[in-house]
Amino acid sequence: MKRIAIVGGAGRMGQALAENLNSIDGLVVSTLVDVHEPQYLFGANYVVGLAMADPTDIDVVVDFSQPSSVAQSAQWCAEHRRGLVIGTTGLSESQRAIVDDAAMSTGIVMASNFSLGAVLSERFAAMAAPYFDRVEIIELHHDRKVDAPSGTSLSAAEAIVEARARAGRTPPVEPTRRDTLAGARGADAGGGVRIHSVRLPGLVAHQEILFGGPGEGLTIRHDSYDRVSFVQGVAIAVRHADSTPGFTWGIDDLIA
């Protein structure tokens, strides 16, 4: 039985994880960590900070909170040799350096998206990338997301650029020569890939990867309608994370 502490346990994502991870065989949420008291504990203990948690009651820490908290979680896990799963994006270079340093002492899995559908859509996009002239990404999230573009879209763009490079495809030339409004063409993710970010209430997490070639187009779309869509991927990461030092980026290699 793997015992899990969720940092950010009072948030919407933390509450969804606490409720649903408990229903998966071999996993139990033992601790919820948050400065705000969670509405539901789901049988777990509650502490306001990870420093107050009992390390003997925790095997893996799952952090879906804020970048500053991730750095603290990484240091705590390294000190106590507990696995760490990170679902928070937007880390600064110094925060990421702390995570990398912690991975020298314990096992860390970090991903921009834990939805199996999102991971597979990125895999499919990398397969398609060498066969189309142009590609653009539209990512759509709820209006409380603080970073843009999303980590998921950046990861997808990187996979597409790498796949095109392996196939010997050169980056396409940007056709737009005049911006009537600055930024109208979105963010340049490199390799000719553009990312457009949408933030609206009512959304959760959605992404379209649009390919265009002579006379045809291909759209790969993924929709997370509910935060429960991330639970299975988090469970896979939790089972992988332990005290064995090392850093794993993404869960693509952890699924068949």
186: left (phi over 0), alpha (psi -120 to 50) or beta: left
Average pLDDT over every residue of 132-147: 94
* Statement to judge: residues 236 and 210 lie in one domain: no
- Do 48 and 136 lie in one domain? The reply is no
Using 50, 70 and 90 to split pLDDT, how confident is the model at 44? very high
Q: Give yes or no for residue 33 having a pLDDT over 90.
A: yes
Q: Judge if 154 and 206 occupy the same domain.
A: yes
| CB of 1 closer than 8 Å to CB of 25 | no
pLDDT of 184 over the 90 cut: yes
> Residue 157: what pLDDT?
97
249 and 206 assigned to the same domain: no
Structural domains counted in the chain: 2
- Are 98 and 143 part of one and the same domain? no
R_g of the chain, CA atoms, integer Å = 19
Q: Token digits for 85?
A: 């799963």
Nearest Cα to Cα of residue 22 among 224, 239, 254, 235: 235
pTM: 0.83
Each residue's pLDDT tens digit, 205-238:
999 999 999 999 999 999 999 999 999 999 999 9
Q: Are residues 16 and 46 in the same domain?
A: yes
Give the 3-state secondary structure percentages of the chain, helix then strand then coil, rounded to 5: 35, 25, 40
Q: Check whether residue 127 and residue 153 sit in a common domain.
A: yes
Mean pLDDT of 84-104: 94
The answer on 233 and 194 residing in a single domain is no
Q: Residue 79 maps to which CATH number?
A: 3.40.50.720
26 band by pLDDT with thresholds 50, 70 and 90: very high
Structure confidence at residue 90 (pLDDT): 82
Q: Verify that 87 and 129 share a domain, yes or no.
A: no
Confidence class for position 22, pLDDT limits 50, 70, 90? very high
CA atoms within 13 A on the CB side of 124: 15
Q: What are the residue numbers of the active site?
A: 141, 145
Identify whether residues 23 and 105 lie together within a single domain.
yes
- Are residues 126 and 148 both part of a single domain? yes
For residues 51 and 10, membership in a common domain is answered with: yes
Q: What is the pLDDT of residue 248?
A: 96
Q: What tokens does 187 get?
A: 């963010």
> What's residue 191's pLDDT?
95
User: Which residues contact residue 249 at a Cβ distance below 8 angstroms, ignoring those fewer than 6 apart?
Assistant: 110, 111
Q: How many CB atoms lie within 10 A of CB 237?
A: 25
Looking at residue 125, what is its pLDDT? 98
Mean pLDDT, rounded, for 61-75 = 94
Q: What is the pLDDT of residue 1?
A: 92
pLDDT at 256 over 80: no
Q: Which pLDDT does position 239 carry in this prediction?
A: 96
Q: How is residue 205 written in tokens?
A: 């997490």
CATH number of the domain encompassing residue 212: 3.30.360.10
Average pLDDT over residues 68-96: 94
Q: Peptide bond preceding 130: is omega within 30 degrees of 0, i.e. cis?
A: no
What is the rounded average pLDDT of the residues 121-136? Answer: 97
Round the average pLDDT of the chain to a whole number and report it: 95
Spatial contact of 175 and 110, defined as CB atoms under 8 Å apart: no
Q: Which domain holds residue 189?
A: 116-225
Q: Where are the beta strands (DSSP E) in the chain?
A: 2-7, 27-33, 45-47, 60-63, 83-86, 107-110, 134-141, 187-188, 194-199, 205-213, 216-224, 246-249
Among 135, 111, 116, 145, CA closest to 208:
135
Burial of 117 per CB tally in 10 Å (0-12, 13-18, 19+): middle
